[in-house]
Structure 1
């Protein structure tokens, strides 16, 4: 459980960096994502999940 909380904490830090460093650019990126079709967002989400699994696999192995 402690490891899971550590991972969640690191994810929150990484997610917060763009908002801290350049909130204007982060808002612009969100506006650009909002106009993409849902199918493209699903593909992007799937690719990000696969990349995350690969990182975890390489980190553990």
Structure 2
């Protein structure tokens, strides 16, 4: 159980690190634009990401 959780966390870190490693200029621009967005929009985007992740998890597990 914990091995799977740690593996999933490791994959999240790997995927999150790919964009700043491969395209640092694009990543900095994207982060500056995201910091200028209203918090409500960021919350909706986060909720949408959670929903998609849960749906994919239910489909593929």
TM-score when normalising by structure 2: 0.94
3-state SS in 2 of match to 1:31 = helix
Which residue pairs with 1:38 in the alignment?
39
Gaps of 5+ in 2: none
Which residue pairs with 2:48 in the alignment?
47
3-state SS in 1 of match to 2:42 = helix
TM-score when normalising by structure 1: 0.94
Q: CA deviation at 1:55?
A: 1.0
Gaps of 5+ in 1: none
- Indicate yes or no: 2:23 matched with 1:10: no
User: How many residues were matched structurally?
Assistant: 60
Runs of 4+ in 1 over 3 A off after TM superposition: none
